[in-house]
A and B are shown apart, each in its own frame.
Chain A
Amino acid sequence: MESRARAAAPASGAAAPRKLWPGALAMLAVPVLLLIVGPHLPSYPLRILDMILLYAVLGLGLNIIVGYAGLLDLGYVAFYAIGAYSWALLASGQFDIHLPFALVLLIGASLAGLAGILLGIPVLRLRGDYLAIVTLGFGEIIRVLMNNLDVVTNGPQGIARIDEAHLFGWTLSTPDDFLYLLVAMLVVVFLFVWRIQESALGTALSAVREDQDAARGCGINTTRVKLVAFAFSAFIGGACGVVFAAMQRFVSPESFTFWESLVIVLVIVVGGLGNPFGALLGATLLILLPELLRAYADYRLLFYGMALVVIILARPRGLISRQYGPSWLMRRLGGGKC
């Protein structure tokens, strides 16, 4: 409530923090710590750390559409898949095309963003559950297409022997390399979604979420605002897909099931919807939990499901509330009014 009121009247500056550096330092501590500690970790935990970071970025991206705009997207994995297949097709022996990583990162993310807009134009008239179900259907359609367009995607066998990624002369091959890349991505995407939340667009999105008709009455072009949110969300999902394909150097439709979409939704819901910190915490929990349960072999997913139900029963609104986001931290540490 408070942050919305503040965002609506940025000129007043009443709640602006007096000092910016304490909050900024506190938030920078996380990536710096990751960069210092990360490379010393053994390979297995490092890989898990990479996955946590990847899901955190995905969660931040999905948060724009689910957390800020209040539109439940159950087919987010489709955008992720579009990104992954972009790298797999544009940098492998499949068509003997070998484009540079930076270019494909842009292409993959843009294609996903475009798909987001194309999907958004017809479906954004829908609300609530109906939107959720249509996006779910879209995700499944994309997966079935990948499974069956053998000529292009190689069908269920997937595409192997994908190129090693090179970014401005730096080879991305070990989990270390991807740690640096993912931390950089996390910082960029985190700042991006945080600033969106605080911008006029963020205000418009929360207005759409609270009451679409009232928002329209206030002169907000709700369709346009939702489309922009969809496109941003999809763009980030696509970029993550490219990185995922470069990291695995193998893609197959198996990686892009409905379950994957759910995990990303769970990341942000368990962590706390609409809160960038929530996405980080949610990703950590949801990726770490199955790894910790690995010892239980066959019982792993059973316990995982139980843990999910228990977490949701205990904290139906997520672990960190919406209001305790980065802006709150800045104010809290910077001596402004909270």
Chain B
Amino acid sequence: MGALILQQTINALTVGSIYALIALGYTMVYGVLRLINFAHSELFTAGAFIGLALAGALGVAGHPTGGLLVGFITFVLIGLAGVSVEIVAYRPLRGTSRLAPMLSALGMAVVIQNAVMLIGGRRPLIYPSFLPSGVIDVFGAIITYKQITIFLVAVILMVGLELFVNRTNLGVRIRAVAENAETASLVGINPNMAISLIFFIGPGLGAVAGILYSSFYGVATFTMGFVIGMKAFTAAILGGIGSIPGAVLGGFLLGFIETFATAWMPVLSGGLIGTEYRDIFAFSVLVLILLFRPAGLLGEHVSEETMVYKSDF
């Protein structure tokens, strides 16, 4: 029993790390632009595929050190892709209406997903692991090195982001623009620069999450982004959209809720509710959180006025 709970805790931390990394991208963009960046989940997928292509090109499949290099290059490439998506599809629509950029984001999601399909193919691809293999046995629970690596990489990236946002000059600019873009521009901060930076970091982190995810499960499909993106978005809301620590907390919390609910609901309900309802747990949590604590766990209250679609109509 104890070992089982420990095992599930470890599984939850692994899934949670990946959710948290993706959730960061959603929350940063939403914090500044009040935009649900639907293209984010597809950039996650694109990241996994680019990682795969790089592994082949550099011949480093299966090497953890090569994996570091691949992760870094993918981060930069997908980061640049994120910046271009913003410049092409979102920037011209800024200030027009709230609905238009969101639908443009959906259009971009379709474009990226199909571009990935055209290059990578429709069939699921076997993914070479960049993570060290091996297991350790802790009190009867089996922890793989893969899981440890995923957790560590995620934590390092999150701490790095936290330091970057709070301790550096560029980070201060981002926070200023998130707080109020107009006022920030009055003190000489270029909002476009800060927004571009966010669209570089967010998708970059998502791309690394894509490599970790595919390495862990050993497979990559061009459609894998949608559901995991939805869950990461749920995580961002759970923690309080716009809040960076919130996205991390939300990601891990969702990992725990999902892992434990999936494992225990069939037992508790006498087999009536099976593991196939896994996705429902995430969405039910989302609905409940929004109903009872719309600002999320760590989020400050987002003025509802800013997210209403009235100026569109």
Chain A positions near chain B (C-beta within 8 angstroms): 67, 70-72, 122-123, 125-130, 132-134, 136-138, 140-141, 144-145, 147-148, 209-212, 258, 262, 265-266, 269, 273-274, 298-299, 301-302, 304-306, 308-309, 312-313, 316-317, 322
Is residue B151 contacting chain A, with contact meaning CB distance below 8 A?
Answer: no
Contact of A140 among B36, B103, B279 (CB under 8 A): B279
Contact of A129 among B34, B104, B280, B313 (CB under 8 A): B34
Please, how many angstroms separate the alpha-carbon atoms of A123 and B291 in the complex?
Answer: 7
- Chain B, residue nearest A306 (CB): B111
Contact of A210 among B100, B226, B277, B310 (CB under 8 A): B310
Given contacts A133-B290, A141-B280, contact A127 B307 (CB under 8 A): yes
Given contacts A129-B36, A301-B114, contact A312 B291 (CB under 8 A): no
Question: Secondary structure at chain B's binding surface: helix, strand, loop or mixed?
Answer: helix
Please, how many angstroms separate the alpha-carbon atoms of A70 and B111 in the complex?
Answer: 28
Sample (13) of A-B pairs whose CB atoms are under 8 Å apart: A122-B291, A126-B291, A126-B294, A127-B307, A128-B98, A138-B283, A209-B310, A210-B310, A269-B103, A298-B117, A305-B113, A306-B111, A312-B93
Given contacts A130-B294, A137-B283, contact A70 B277 (CB under 8 A): no
Tell me the total A-B contact number using a CB cutoff of 8 A: 139
Contact A304 B110 (CB under 8 A): yes
Chain A residues contacting B106 (CB-CB under 8 Å) are 262, 266, 308
Chain A residues contacting B306 (CB-CB under 8 Å) are 128
Please, how many angstroms separate the alpha-carbon atoms of A72 and B103 in the complex?
Answer: 12
Contact B117 A133 (CB under 8 A): no
Contacts A313-B89, A317-B100 known; list 15 others, CB within 8 Å: A70-B309, A123-B290, A130-B304, A130-B307, A132-B36, A140-B283, A144-B276, A209-B309, A265-B103, A266-B103, A306-B111, A308-B103, A309-B104, A309-B108, A317-B312
- Chain A, residue nearest B279 (CB): A144
Chain B positions near chain A (C-beta within 8 angstroms): 34, 36, 88-89, 92-93, 96-100, 103-104, 106-111, 113-115, 117-118, 226, 230, 233-234, 237, 274, 276-277, 279-280, 283-284, 286-287, 290-291, 294, 304, 306-310, 312-313
Given contacts A210-B310, A312-B93, A313-B93, contact A140 B274 (CB under 8 A): no
